[in-house]
Amino acid sequence: MEVLYRCCAGLDVHKKTVQACVRRMSEGGQVRTETRLFGTMTRDILALGDWLAEAQVTHVAMESTGVFWKPIWNLLEGRFELVLCNAREVKQVPGRKTDVKDCQWLAQLMQYGLLKASFVPSRPLRELRDLTRQRVQLVNEHTAAANRVHKVLEDANIKLSSVASDVLGASGRDMIQALIAGEQDPEQLANLARRRLRDKLPELVAAFEGTLDDHHRFLLQMYYSHLQHLETMIAQFEARIDAMLQDPALNAACAGEDVLPFPVAVQLLTTIPGVDECAAKAILAETGTDMSRFPGPDNLCSWTGICPGNNESAGKRRSGKTTQGNRWLRRALTQAAWAASHTKDTYLSALFRRLAARRGKKRAIVAVAHSILVAIYYMLTRHETYQDLGSDYLNRLHPERLAHSLTKRLETLGYAVTLEPLQVAA
């Protein structure tokens, strides 16, 4: 087997220790290995880097074990050619002996070029990822806190949600604050309604005739304070994300003609139906704006995990469930697909309706998300805005199939159908 790297290393990363193995092959083909154990404190990782540099190591491989690989990557980045590999793919490589340590096995696979490197973005893009992902977590917590407020109101038989479409709207918040302050008169609470909600004053008076006591009031105050705190944090994260998109360090790699700056790419993605500015930022934080790292749109979809699995044997296709991939990107794309499915007269909504009738809504949403990601790949590659194919595009692909299908449906209803082409005027 051809040796690609004469001197490389493998790291077995744990929470408190890092076991490193340097594998060196001489010109005569003799292999020498040296293994050492280091801690994971900053001084220990720096000592590890110095030891690898003294050994003239050029390439270092490690497995993506939780988050423990991140500090090692941050401190060794720039000094060596780092390769982060999937532990599942490493286990599938045959030929490992039981008495070989993990670091030695990684070093051996690295030397022969048998490791597939995972996509690790640059440090500014990793920081942007941290912000967008944490914003998603805060939005989920905000939803949970809002549900707790609903639960307390229902437990106290305050039926505000049965009258107001948005309990946490401007009117609902005024009413909740009045309940926390001790207001118990249903008419006074109902008079806090604004605009169109004032048309339902009698229903609101009946809705506030509940059994709210001090226990409910205490819970309502705690949950509502938590809700406001989460809203403040979400606003701060959004401001930080906007500032990061304008950061010169983040856009330094976007200076070439083939790569768009992040602010321009965000505006480009918002031309896709269902993709708003928030979704565009979340998508670009995961993929970046440089599509050259992906050989094609199929590779990007496979990396994301929104393409069917390839499981075929003896000419028979087995389970084609989607593969594992980037769950954060898949979440943003599926949310955009749900929004696109509700648009009117667009290709994406027509695709959703067409597939949902045969395969179900969830499979149709994954297919729409796949189409969105393919469009994003070509948009970022060609620097073009989204060009909608139209809601009748799928019908125009094979008009004879559509005519045959409609004819069969009419015949099942008891009609005799004869099709004649229209005469085109000269």
Query: Is the model's pLDDT at 10 over the cut of 90?
Result: yes
For all residues of the chain together, what is the average pLDDT?
Answer: 89
For 196-227, b where at least 16 C-beta lie within 10 A, e where not — what string? ebeeeeeebbebbebebeeebbebbbebbebb
- The mean per-residue pLDDT over the stretch 213-225 comes to 94
- CA dist 6 and 169 (Å) reads 65
pLDDT cut 90: percent of the chain above it: 61
Does residue 323 carry a pLDDT above 80? Answer: no
- Render the burial of 263-275: b for 16+ CB within 10 Å, e for the rest: eebbebbbebbbb
Instruction: Give CA–CA dist 66/70, Å, rounded.
Output: 9
Mean local confidence (pLDDT), 354-362: 91
What predicted TM-score, i.e. pTM, was given to this entire model? 0.86
- The confidence score (pLDDT) of residue 349 equals 95
Inter-residue contact 142 to 231 (CB < 8 Å): yes
Q: pLDDT band for position 116 (50/70/90)?
A: confident
Q: What is the mean pLDDT of residues 259-285?
A: 93
Instruction: Give the pLDDT of residue 256.
Output: 58
What is the C-alpha separation between 104 and 94, in angstroms, rounded? 15
Band (pLDDT 50/70/90 cuts) for residue 311 is low
Distance CA 42, CA 210 (A): 59
Q: Residue type for 365, please?
A: I
- Give residue-wise pLDDT tens across range 23-42: 998 887 788 999 999 999 99
DSSP 83-129: EEE-HHHHHTSS---TTS-HHHHHHHHHHTT--PPP----HHHHHHH
Beta carbons of 313 and 305 less than 8 angstroms apart? no
In this prediction, residue 100 carries a pLDDT of 64
Check residue 284 and give its pLDDT: 95
Overall average pLDDT of the 327-351 stretch: 94
